[in-house]
Structure 1
Amino acid sequence: MRSPLTRPLAAIAAAALFVPVLTGCGSDAGDGDALVIYSGRNEKLVKPLLEKLEKAIGTEVDVRYGDSAELAAQILEEGDKTKADLFFSQDAGALGALSKDGLLAELPKGTLNKVDAAYRGSTGDWTGVSGRSRVIAYNPDRTDAAPDSVHDVVTSEWKGKVGYAPTNASFQAFVTGMRVLEGDDATREWLKGLKEVGKPYDNNLRVLDAVESGEVTLGLINHYYWYERAAEKGADKLTAKLHFLPGGDAGALVNVAGAGVLKSSDQSGPATEAVDFLLSKEAQHYFADETKEYPLINGVSPSGGVPAMDTLQAPKIDLGELDSLQETLAMLQAVGLV
């Protein structure tokens, strides 16, 4: 049976087939000998890295950029006729959907063993390449401390004081994680509570802006938004602070961007080399230094004051189970958050 991701996004995926698919790092986009990457990661963010990847593996690279869920849906529609050789996803759920449909090739153990088992596919056909933690941003001029659980956020104390971005993929992945960890009923009740107390924003940067200005007291975001701004302006110039939640709380979810090689690819060698490059020290330093994400290999540490991965108290979860995005969207719609 197809993943739940497939059917609801089939129309989007079909429409995507009518737009130009490839933008090349090399000179001849669409060359049959090129490594074709479907990238759910933002072009501005990763294009410099993929240009380095092209040089490192010695193979022309052609990239199609788009939304991770839509690209995954397109690959599911295309099946073994997909043009993609490598899927570079913004989140684990989209990779999990392809894995469950049997579209990804098993990766070599030498590649998989570079990354802790918690941050790669349980069947060995995809791996995380960088990580991000959910956090609560807070304004210390308005509260002495942020709550230690997202469940404590949805109380009358915080009415009108909580910012969140319901249409953002990272928020939706977090809600999916809560569904996996705590069940649909508990998650639905939490969302109803959030609607009562929270203020929705278009994106995480607007949430952080609102916390910074005091428009809201708390904000549900990913860690790197604050650290990118701190690198740009100086941490001492920011009012907002971050709280990393303890005790395996659902609000402390660590999700990953990751990569998997398509089983149908006739470029499996270069595609696997590309995965290895994304796990190289050069690429891992790029994630740490440029995007303020968590590197996932030993020997490379976070930068810019980002706390070490082993200090996080993330919930234990199979990240591949974050593939049920469509059920999450249906729940968000039913509650009235999107």
Structure 2
Amino acid sequence: MRPSVTRCISALALAAVLLPLGTACGIGSEAGLVIYSGRNEGLIKPLLDKLEKAVGTDVEVRYGASAELSAQLLEEGDKTKADLFLSQDAGALGALAKQGRLEKLPQPTLDRVAKQFRAGGGEWVGVSGRVRVLAYHPGQVTKAPDSVHDLVKPEWKDKVGYAPTNASFQAFVTGMRVLEGDDATREWLKGLKANGIKAYDDNLALLDAVDSGQVALGMINHYYWYEKVAEKGADKVTAKLHYLPGGDPGALINVAGVGVLAGSEHNAAALKAVDFLLSKEAQTYFADETKEYPLASGVTSTVPDLPPLESLKAPEIDLGKLESLQQTLTMLREVGMV
């Protein structure tokens, strides 16, 4: 999602061959609170340093890709040393909840976040939100389409870009599978491929390509544009954003979230950590530093021109059902898009 940093494990390693936790990262049973984090170290470490002080115990963190860490936690089972899983997306949390590896959070904690941004069974809760949008070059696009389904039409041939290895793109495709079924999603992907969609390494590269006019339109998360504006200044960014209306699958609102591992040896500290991540301090950090939406009640974003979360028309979907990532990856490979 963001520039790479040194991690305890490679984001490209297969979960099946990851070393045991104590060996890989020097984390053992003598540690305090153990967090598996699918969020980038460069982004989240300053906040986790504050979390350590708020919780009042030592914190050890293992960084990696959310899907891989989720798979590793399933492999470790009740022998894991992890107490808390901080995930980049809801699907990885959903996979653990489905297998009974997360405990239900206290109702007062859950009630701080709207129902659509937490697990139906209460096993995890969202801590920040991001919206799928279309970035477009106004010199090449008079009117951006109101549905991702339009992107397979002839008028968009060779004009659309995407970041196929990006977890948020893959979560969006998973969401489409949940909403519209595998057959319809596969045909849409084939249509994009036939229409000359262009692949980019990540969302930053894709947004830069739209901004420079290399491609007319790209599917990204909203915060990349707002970060670019904050860095460069609004007058230095050519690309514009289009928020899709009408509950279109391309308007998915996904979340980064957190869950407590069942059988955690440091349950009380883990629950305090969850509450800290929903605190005004942490929620403001997400809003200010990453331009994501704060999800806890009572905290609103102050990012200029960011539409209020409640004004967006996202598709109605149980985010926990985004757990079928492997099926999505298989489909993307079958149609030649990864």
Pairwise TM-score range, normalised by the shorter structure? over 0.9
Give the aligned residue type for 1:32.
E
User: Using the alignment, how far apart are the partners of 2:300 and 2:137 within structure 1?
Assistant: 28
Confirm or deny: 8 A CA contact 2:129 2:294 kept in the other structure.
yes
* Matching residue's letter, 2:250: G
Q: 1:52 & 1:21 partners in 2: Cα distance?
A: 24
In structure 2, distance between residues paired with 1:195 and 1:52: 45
- Paired position in structure 1 for 2:314: 314
Deviation at 1:236, TM superposition (A): 2.1
Cα distance in structure 1, aligned partners of 2:208 and 2:16: 37
Aligned-partner Cα distance in 2 for 1:99–1:237 = 44
Task: Give how far 1:286 is off.
Answer: 0.3
**Whole-angstrom distance in 1 between the partners of 2:297 and 2:61:** 28
TM-score (norm 2): 0.93
Aligned to 1:165: 163
Q: Which residue of 1 aligns with 2:68?
A: 70
Q: Which residue of 2 aligns with 1:120?
A: 118
Equivalent position to 1:17, from 5, 9, 19: 19
Q: Runs of 5+ in structure 1 lacking a partner?
A: 1-10, 24-28
Once residues 236 and 336 of structure 1 are traced to their aligned partners in structure 2, the CA distance between those partners, rounded to angstroms, is 38
Cross-structure match for 1:109: 107
Contact preservation (8 Å) 2:39, 2:65: yes
5+ residue gaps, structure 2, are: 1-12
Q: Deviations over 1:280-306 (max 9, x none)?
A: 000000000001000001221123222
Secondary structure, aligned partner of 1:256: strand
Aligned to 1:129: 127
Amino acid at match of 1:206: A
1:34 Cα deviation (Å)? 0.5
C-alpha distance after superposition, 1:245-265 (max 9, x if no partner)? 000000000000000000121
Aligned equivalents of 2:31 and 2:42: distance in 1? 25
Moved more, 169-178 or 13-22: 13-22
- Mapping of residues 54-203 of structure 1, within 5 Å: 54-197=52-195, 198-203=197-202
**Which residue of structure 2 aligns with residue 217 of structure 1?**
216
Measure, in 1, the Cα distance between the counterparts of 2:247 and 2:315: 4
For 1:22, the aligned partner's letter is: C
Rounded Cα–Cα distance in structure 1 between residues aligned with 2:90 and 2:264: 21
Residue aligned with 1:239, SS: coil
- Name the SS of the counterpart of 1:153 in structure 2: helix
Shift of 1:21: 3.7
CA contact (8 A) 2:137 2:210 kept: yes
Counterpart CA distance in 2 for 1:32 and 1:41 is: 24
Runs (4+) off by over 4 Å = none
Once the two structures are superposed, what CA deviation does each residue of 1:93-149 show, in whole Å capped at 9, x if it has no partner? 000000000010110001000000000001011000000000000000111121000
- Partners of 1:188 and 1:113 lie apart in 2 by 37
* Counterpart Cα distance in 1 of 2:29 and 2:320: 32
1:110 maps to a residue whose letter is P
How far residue 31 of structure 1 moved from its aligned partner, in angstroms, is: 6.0
Q: Does 1:37 align with 2:35?
A: yes
C-alpha deviation, 1:87, in angstroms: 0.3
The amino acid of 1:73's aligned partner reads: A
Measure the CA separation in 1 of the matches of 2:299 and 2:124. 21
Q: Which moved more, 1:49-58 or 1:14-23?
A: 14-23
Q: Is the 8 A contact 1:22 1:62 kept in 2?
A: no
Asked whether the 8 Å contact 1:35–1:61 carries over to 2, the reply is: yes
Per the alignment, in what secondary structure is the counterpart of residue 190 of structure 2?
helix
SS in 2 for 1:62: strand
Tell me the matched-pair count: 323
Identity over aligned residues, as a percent? 68
Mapped contact 1:231–1:304 kept (Cα < 8 A): no
Provide the secondary structure at the position in 2 that maps to 1:136: strand
Partners of 1:191 and 1:210 in 2: CA distance: 21
Higher mean displacement: 113-122 or 230-239? 230-239
Query: Which residue is 2:301 aligned to?
Result: 302
Instruction: Tell me, yes or no, if structure 1 residue 324 matches structure 2 residue 324.
Output: yes
Which residue of structure 1 lines up, in the alignment, with residue 4 of structure 2? none
For the Cα contact (< 8 Å) 2:28–2:81, is it kept in 1? no
User: Over residues 228-275 of structure 1, what are the superposed CA-to-partner deviations in whole Å (9 max), with x where a residue is unaligned?
Assistant: 001001122110000010000000000000000001211010001000
Structure 2 Cα separation of the partners of residues 209 and 233 of structure 1: 12
Q: Which amino acid aligns with 1:202?
A: D
Structure 2 distance, partners of 1:187, 1:284, is 34
- Secondary structure at 2:161's aligned position in 1? strand
Secondary structure class of the residue paired with 1:64? strand
